[in-house]
Structure 1
């Protein structure tokens, strides 16, 4: 099985896929930037809500102090996680909207839903029910972003930079987090903790980003692959020509559109043009598609329960738990944490995901994350009073390890940005055939938000002492460490490498039995690529010979 195809000697090199230099033009990058901004939807919310909730004015408006400790933990978890539960519904309906009205109009409507939800939240005036409702409605919009954004980007990006382009979406997640963290910090320092503007001003970042994305859609083209799917190949050719900045009759453009069209026709022929039920059957009854779905769903479970997403959401609380004192200091350390994750996302996009491949980048990130979780879990085991005894002061001998634990939170964020948080979107967007891409991505992101909701909702209660029904801080981080290590083993055995492969050739990775795909799928696909290239060359040679013979006969007849 392993014989025949050798691995490239230098893995630190982008694959040369013969793409003309005109392909990498400003229209491509402008489109990637515009749809990458959708990533900021989650980042802004994750970075803002904890700081906004912790402001004394917001807590006073909902009469937070009148509740018991357990009730307070439940309220904080509900307010923080309500966007995630709304996002479950948003991700679930995203494929219907995306496939019915297209990627452009899907983006416009989700921006409007997002704005309406945030407006209700900002105008709740202390009504806890309105706070929940506003964040739930905002989640219906936010939940569509990881379906629409990565799918559109993957569908327009050339194969050699598809990983980089899709990771730009992830980069904007962290840009949103950084802006949210620093806005929280700036408002805390300059507006005080008791003013109404303290949490309203940062929350307005939602409206700014949603409005900007809505505006930018009017300068973008619909996805050529969506146009092919809707039976508009001429329009698809025109759009692809503009995106690639090449003439419509250029070999590269024609070849790309032909590959998309042939692939879609083969999918339609296989399902005999069946409707939505046929799409569902194709996803669940075709073994290769079902395996891909299991991969993406497994990625959501492993990534969300590795704990890094909860660390982002509850970063101020966790830094306080590990020894940072003072609200201003906590928010500043949290803001720097956002910068670390942004840098990691940029490094992953520019130097790793299309250079050393998806799988290697993912394993590096998971390894860093596991190391960090083990250290923090060990520290909290050595100092079990933290998070259990109110007002506990670190001893002189505990201050150094405490700083190490804080540093490891940064390491975990760096590893998360390099690994799971980039790959959970990228793999989901590029693995599936065109006909079922929106549905499968929608299901994966529904599962993503369901797990994110469960994790973010559970963590405040998990951090409570065992006597209060929690598993304590040390138990929480030991659980995160165990799941992170399990995720590394799972990735090693089951996820194939997809870097440098066109969307239309992904099927070749999944022709082996499921238990061999992760280890041998790439080598088998490479052999299929070579065989396909040989057949294509033979067909072209035969066609050329036939054409030459016909021209010669025509010439003889004229003579």
Structure 2
């Protein structure tokens, strides 16, 4: 445990934070909800290999000689994209379940549903049953991208909140590389005609879901959800267990007070928030609208930089630069390892150490240069896309460079967009609309992912491979401007301090917001409280302060 504490104190700004808050209870909760990210990554990594296996193709009609090439392509795309389609609905379901039942109970329900969905798939004999199983799996996986980031943002101290969320984001690639190697191993050691080649990799999902289900029973519910549910007393007790501090410690009192004050201010300003009213707030309350548009634009720019599609279509893309045979599956597995490694390097040493904006700058720059190289390669050597063309001399060396750059796009993606697209959603949004906002954003995320995944094969034909990668390069350049002008630095801020930041004029939030509006929440001044120079608010003071805020709000609005 001392090793972890020394690590955090060395690489993170933990000044003013009691050392007790970095403890095994916190680490275990971050591990369980962080590894939840592999639920999505496992399917993304394994399905591309599964649909190429002869036993699977024979079982579900992908080798049917009576079907046209177009019909077979549509059948294949329907199988691969069914989980993504289900995930859109799952994200929307999460906005109700996570709020109604809490983060822990929702995760447990998701794990049970996921196990049932996998059983349906591995017992499938007809394509219809397979569709049902994969659609049901999508409904479960779609909820994980809401549950995980929300819970991690709400329990992690602000000093390591970026790390906690990036563990979730990086676990996507843990699942991806694990499934790719399982696919590759099954292809090497099982008969091609055996259904075990696709049943075994699918059944591994039951093991993952079972581990998460058991682990969830050892975690504590989010204190912020408990406050929102009206259980303030229990929230203090749970927070003291997560932080390993007494309930009357200034840090615990300040954190609970900050949560209460933020929630009360929201309620005083907007009244009791129904789902419909929360949806209206996302687009009609100025400060929240800026945040939701920021998150939605991040999804568009991130997904259409094409890094996610490169993961899905890696076997086809490495073939474009001269890789043939079973090595295509091996290179897909290696891409998973590269993304997994770089994601966790970013999580532990970049996202909180450099900050959100600098990490995104670094990731996008690497991704842009790598994508541009691949685009230039295809522009100069267009014959590389021909199956019967063999590169020699300098073209062969350039092809090796293009293969390396495909891996580097993954490095840039995991350091930049992949972390930001999960992190800023759960960090920026107010507690009252956090669940519904994150759910809406992630539904939009899956819709973009589905569109980009479906579009890439067509783009490679209509735009040519060179044009497709030039398009992705242009999106990345636009993303660099977006990050500079619109995205504020929110590393190290408490969740309850976001409102003041986003109340600034929209045109200064991204460039100057962090300097103009520093964090003035209670836990930001905990060292003063411990030294006796800062009074922790009593319940009476708290109510009076909230009332004063309400009066000021009414005067501002002319009520």
TM-score calculated relative to the size of structure 1: 0.89
* 1:97 alignment counterpart: 97
Give the one of 35, 48, 59 matched to 1:37.
Answer: 35
CA distance in 2 between counterparts of 1:542 and 1:452 reads 48
Q: How is 1:393-412 mapped onto 2 (pairs within 5 angstroms)?
A: 393-412=390-409
SS in 2 for 1:144: helix
Mean Cα deviation higher: 313-322 or 258-267: 313-322
SS in 1 for 2:518: helix
Question: Structure 1 residue 511 and structure 2 residue 511: aligned?
Answer: no
* 2:59 alignment counterpart: 61
**Alignment check: 8 A CA contact 2:258 2:521 kept:** no
Question: Structure 1 residue 419 and structure 2 residue 416: aligned?
Answer: yes
Q: How is 1:213-292 mapped onto 2 (pairs within 5 angstroms)?
A: 213-292=212-291
* 1:474 alignment counterpart: 466
Give the superposition deviation at 1:37.
1.6
Mean Cα deviation higher: 503-512 or 354-363: 503-512
CA distance in 1 between counterparts of 2:139 and 2:201 reads 20
**Alignment check: 8 A CA contact 2:273 2:432 kept:** no
CA distance in 2 between counterparts of 1:527 and 1:476 reads 43
Closer, same or farther in 2 for the Cα pair 1:77/1:451, shift >3 Å? same
Give the superposition deviation at 1:205.
2.2
* 1:548 alignment counterpart: none
**Alignment check: 8 A CA contact 1:14 1:355 kept:** yes
* 2:548 alignment counterpart: none
Closer, same or farther in 2 for the Cα pair 1:201/1:474, shift >3 Å? same
Closer, same or farther in 2 for the Cα pair 1:272/1:529, shift >3 Å? closer
* 1:484 alignment counterpart: 476
* 2:6 alignment counterpart: none
Question: Structure 1 residue 46 and structure 2 residue 44: aligned?
Answer: yes
Question: Structure 1 residue 202 and structure 2 residue 201: aligned?
Answer: yes
SS in 1 for 2:517: helix
Give the superposition deviation at 1:286.
1.2
List, as ranges, runs of 4+ consecutive aligned residues in structure 1 with deviation greater than 4 Å: 527-530, 540-544
Give the superposition deviation at 1:282.
2.4
Closer, same or farther in 2 for the Cα pair 1:333/1:383, shift >3 Å? same
CA distance in 2 between counterparts of 1:361 and 1:72 reads 42
CA distance in 2 between counterparts of 1:88 and 1:543 reads 46
* 2:552 alignment counterpart: none
**Alignment check: 8 A CA contact 1:80 1:456 kept:** no
* 2:26 alignment counterpart: 28
- CA deviation profile, 1:13-72 (whole Å, cap 9, x unmatched): 632341111100000000011111210011101110011111111122223233333333
Question: Structure 1 residue 116 and structure 2 residue 116: aligned?
Answer: yes
CA distance in 2 between counterparts of 1:132 and 1:326 reads 29
CA distance in 2 between counterparts of 1:490 and 1:398 reads 36
Structure label with greater radius of gyration? 1
* 2:332 alignment counterpart: 334
* 1:171 alignment counterpart: 170
- CA deviation profile, 1:63-112 (whole Å, cap 9, x unmatched): 32333333333333222221111100000111110001110111011122
Give the superposition deviation at 1:163.
0.5
* 1:371 alignment counterpart: 369
**Alignment check: 8 A CA contact 2:496 2:521 kept:** no
CA distance in 2 between counterparts of 1:542 and 1:363 reads 38
* 1:346 alignment counterpart: 344
Give the one of 420, 431, 436 matched to 1:434.
Answer: 431
* 1:313 alignment counterpart: 312
**Alignment check: 8 A CA contact 2:85 2:135 kept:** yes
Give the superposition deviation at 1:213.
0.7
- CA deviation profile, 1:274-328 (whole Å, cap 9, x unmatched): 423332232222111000000110111111111111111121221122211112x
**Alignment check: 8 A CA contact 1:374 1:477 kept:** yes
SS in 2 for 1:385: helix
Flag structure 2 segments of 5+ consecutive residues without an equivalent: 1-9, 537-559
CA distance in 2 between counterparts of 1:305 and 1:186 reads 32
- CA deviation profile, 1:309-359 (whole Å, cap 9, x unmatched): 1111121221122211112x1222221111111111111111111111011
Question: Structure 1 residue 156 and structure 2 residue 155: aligned?
Answer: yes
Q: How is 1:3-14 mapped onto 2 (pairs within 5 angstroms)?
A: 14=12
**Alignment check: 8 A CA contact 1:17 1:160 kept:** no
**Alignment check: 8 A CA contact 1:77 1:460 kept:** no
**Alignment check: 8 A CA contact 1:38 1:172 kept:** yes
- CA deviation profile, 1:234-276 (whole Å, cap 9, x unmatched): 1000100100111111111111111111111111111122423
**Alignment check: 8 A CA contact 2:494 2:519 kept:** no
Measured on the aligned residues, the alpha-carbon RMSD in Å equals 2.1
TM-score calculated relative to the size of structure 2: 0.89
Closer, same or farther in 2 for the Cα pair 1:69/1:489, shift >3 Å? farther
Closer, same or farther in 2 for the Cα pair 1:105/1:542, shift >3 Å? closer
**Alignment check: 8 A CA contact 2:111 2:212 kept:** yes
Equivalent pairs counted in the alignment come to 521
Mean Cα deviation higher: 15-24 or 111-120: 111-120
CA distance in 2 between counterparts of 1:201 and 1:391 reads 35
Question: Structure 1 residue 451 and structure 2 residue 448: aligned?
Answer: yes
Closer, same or farther in 2 for the Cα pair 1:460/1:78, shift >3 Å? farther
* 1:144 alignment counterpart: 143
Give the superposition deviation at 1:527.
8.3
Give the superposition deviation at 1:390.
4.1
